[in-house]
Amino acid sequence: MRKKVIGRMIIVILLLVSNLDLGAQDKRPNIVLILADDLGVETITANGGTSYQTPNIDRLASQGMLFQNCHAQPLCTPSRVQIMTGQYNVRNYTEFGKLDRSQISFGNIFKNAGYKTAIAGKWQLGGENDSPQHFGFDESCLWQQSQPRKDSEGHDTRFSNPTLEFNGKVKHFNNGEYGPDITSNFICDFIEENKNEPFFAYYPMILTHCPFVTTPDSNDWDSQSKGSLTYKGEPVYYADMVSYMDKLVGKIVSKIDELGLGENTLIVFTGDNGTDQPIVSMFKGGEYPGGKGKTTDNGTHVPLVARWTGTIDGNKECLDMVDFSDFLPTICDAASIKAPSNIPIDGISFMPQLLGKKGNPREWIYSWYDPRGKKLKEFARNTEYKLYKTGEFYNVTDDFFEKAPIPLDNLKEKDKKAYKSLSKALNSYDNVQKIK
């Protein structure tokens, strides 16, 4: 009899321990990564922009950490491949509009670690029906997956009355719906449905990419519109699009806070490349032209804000350099997930900086940029200097648009030190084996 009682007690204890373990597992932090489309650093008020109002992103920065030196690739697909894999394009970029299916994304990593995963917004990384699921996302609501950018009449299909795909199934909207509303609602619904277990939500926004058109908050919004017939649209509407983008960021943050998840959720906001041309904004007292597609600062310098209530102190600023390869190791660190050891990760986690520690700040960042296989631009840079593989060497603090290379035959001591460091960085990628 005594043995039976002891046996039952052991079973009860094991069940209690098991439940405690599950409870601890459920406390793993949620990750919400928001990636705005074609949004340079100059658009955010907290960074010094004065052309637009971004109260929700500014509030996010005041509640967490604002980075001043984050750099993406100059164009969407190169940036998305880099942020999703933690690798520089020299290793795994194959062609525009595609993420090679041999690659492992942060979606795969988080799903394999037991997280619920979702992606909503812009895809443009492979047209197969199962593309998002192949890369680790349980749920998806995407524009430009298997369907083209335009409909049969030439209308852009991302904004008014959009064409979207839900888990690979195409749906055409015709009742005045707005694409960014649908995709942000999808993220909010996913967060609510999975509030009791760890989740990873990746929101590569449709805004603020052209065509520059009205939003539902614009005075001349037309709910019957089938979409723009021109690629760029009307630049006058860019301010409305920035405001609406900020509004949607606020909606997602509010959902997290309403559910009481703020203390267990790392929210990261950034942009995929510089603002498109011909947009010119005011930034820190001067005109700042959009530089999307260019390797100058206005093509790569993007905002970065991170909030994790109770973990990241508010009103903090970080001047360390960050690039898009750093996001994967950072969110893995936050979730205590180890990235697969059989893939090279070029990124350096900035999680220590988020915690107020020194961490391992970058001395340089590297870029291999050849989006359509026509003209490779390869460079390494720090906050002051940039060196291209072709030999052009610039002080980008003094020469923002890179008009006058520094003569290499008469370098000052400071210039020599930077040139040597950046040369070494460039050379370190000479023998990287690229996927075919």
Q: Is the pLDDT of residue 292 over 50?
A: yes
Q: What is the pLDDT of residue 349?
A: 98
Q: What is the pLDDT of residue 410?
A: 86
Q: Mean pLDDT of all residues in the chain? A: 94
33 DSSP β-pair partners: 202, 268
Percent of the chain with pLDDT strictly greater than 90: 92
Percent of the chain with pLDDT strictly greater than 70: 94
Q: Is the pLDDT of residue 13 over 60?
A: no
What are 157's two structure tokens?
A: 């299909």
Q: What is the pLDDT of residues 80-97, one digit of tens each?
A: 999 999 999 999 999 999
Model's pTM, two decimal places?
A: 0.94
Q: In CATH, what class is 29-365?
A: alpha beta
Confidence category of residue 27, pLDDT binned at 50, 70, 90: confident
- Smallest CA-to-CA distance from 51 within 210, 219, 279, 251 is with 279
Q: What is the pLDDT of residue 383?
A: 97
Q: Is the pLDDT of residue 15 over 80?
A: no
261 vs 9, higher pLDDT: 261
Task: Summarize the confidence of residues 226-238 as an average pLDDT.
Answer: 97
Confidence category of residue 25, pLDDT binned at 50, 70, 90: very low
Amino acid at 184: S
φ/ψ (deg, to 5) at 53: -110, 125
Q: What is the pLDDT of residue 10?
A: 40
Say which residue the tokens 């060497």 belong to.
393
Helix ranges restricted to H, 261-380: 297-300, 327-334, 351-354
Confidence category of residue 19, pLDDT binned at 50, 70, 90: very low
The residue length of the chain stands at: 436
Q: What is the 3-state secondary structure (H, E, C) of 378-414?
A: EEEECCCEEEECCCCEEECCCCCCCCCCCCHHHCCHH
Residue 135 backbone zone (phi > 0: left; psi -120 to 50: alpha; other: beta): alpha
411 vs 1, higher pLDDT: 411
Of 2-11, 39-48, 53-62, 146-155, which gets the smallest average pLDDT? 2-11
φ/ψ (deg, to 5) at 185: -60, -40
Confidence category of residue 26, pLDDT binned at 50, 70, 90: low
Q: Where are the domains of the chain?
A: 29-365, 377-427
Task: Summarize the confidence of residues 419-434 as an average pLDDT.
Answer: 96
Q: What is the pLDDT of residues 94-143, one digit of tens each?
A: 999 999 999 999 999 999 999 999 999 999 999 999 999 999 999 999 99
Percentages helix, strand, coil for the chain (3-state, rounded to 5) are 35, 20, 45
Q: Is the pLDDT of residue 248 over 70?
A: yes
Confidence category of residue 373, pLDDT binned at 50, 70, 90: very high
What are 94's two structure tokens?
A: 């194959």
> Are 87 and 343 contacting, i.e. CB atoms less than 8 angstroms apart?
yes
> Are 101 and 184 contacting, i.e. CB atoms less than 8 angstroms apart?
no
Say which residue the tokens 């603090």 belong to.
397
Q: What is the pLDDT of residues 252-265, one digit of tens each?
A: 999 999 999 999 99
Residue 116, CA atoms < 13 Å, CB-side half-sphere:
16
- Smallest CA-to-CA distance from 176 within 188, 161, 156, 159 is with 161
Number of Cβ within 10 Å of residue 313's Cβ equals: 13
- Smallest CA-to-CA distance from 305 within 129, 38, 90, 46 is with 46
Q: What is the pLDDT of residues 44-67, one digit of tens each?
A: 999 999 999 999 999 999 999 999
Q: Is the pLDDT of residue 168 over 70?
A: yes
